Amino acid sequence: METFVLAGGCFWCLDAVYRRTRGVTEVVSGYTGGHVADPDYEAVCSGTTGHAEAVAVTFDESVVPGEVILGIFFTSHNPTTLNRQGYDIGTQYRSAMFYASDEQKQAFEEAIARTQQDWVDPIVTEVVPLSAFHPAEEYHQNYYDKHPSAGYCQVIINPKLAKARKYYAEWLTA
């Protein structure tokens, strides 16, 4: 098993996509990359903790390659916008990849290099060492499945799921 910690805007979006990815065994929404010892959602949303909303995605490499997990990451958000995804604005919504090993760092950098050809603007995704990962409050875990008819899910998450399915249909479930 391998775990990638990835930030691409609101963690609800990445959580929803990865929970539908074959070979993913666990997805935990949380906060990382900041300087406060025990952040909570309110503090992170203030933009003063330095944390990003992120997901820890654990997957079985014998089922789904890491390159697919990273391809889905870049398909599920816009890696060229600094500190924002759509209407979500602030450093907590930055695009970032948090590596736990030199191998992960290399894989992340290679994924950026591969993906850049798909974007006109430069990719601004940070590749930084993983610091403490703090699971978000239970309310945020698996948000999409708990609230599928919520406006945010309908307007923001559903199009991201559709885009991921378009490019990664063989890896995503219904």
Single out the catalytic residue among 10, 13, 45, 153: 10
For position 152, which CATH number holds?
3.30.1060.10
Dump pLDDT digits (tens) for 60-113. 999 999 999 999 999 999 999 999 988 889 999 999 999 999 999 999 999 999
Q: What is the pLDDT of residue 86?
A: 84
DSSP, collapsed to helix, strand or coil, labels residue 105 as: helix
In a domain, 93, yes or no: yes
Enter the pTM of the model. 0.95
Domain of residue 95, residue span: 2-168
In a domain, 73, yes or no: yes
Q: What phi and psi values does residue 157 have, to the nearest 5 degrees?
A: -75, -45
Residue 10 annotated among the catalytic residues of the structure = yes
In a domain, 174, yes or no: no
In a domain, 41, yes or no: yes
For the chain, what is the domain count?
Answer: 1
In a domain, 86, yes or no: yes
In a domain, 129, yes or no: yes
On the CB side of 14, CA atoms within 13 Å amount to: 35
3-state secondary structure 111-159: HHHHHHCCCCCCCCCEEEECCCCEECCHHHCCHHHHCCCCHHHHHHHHH
In a domain, 173, yes or no: no
Distance CA 117, CA 57 (A): 25
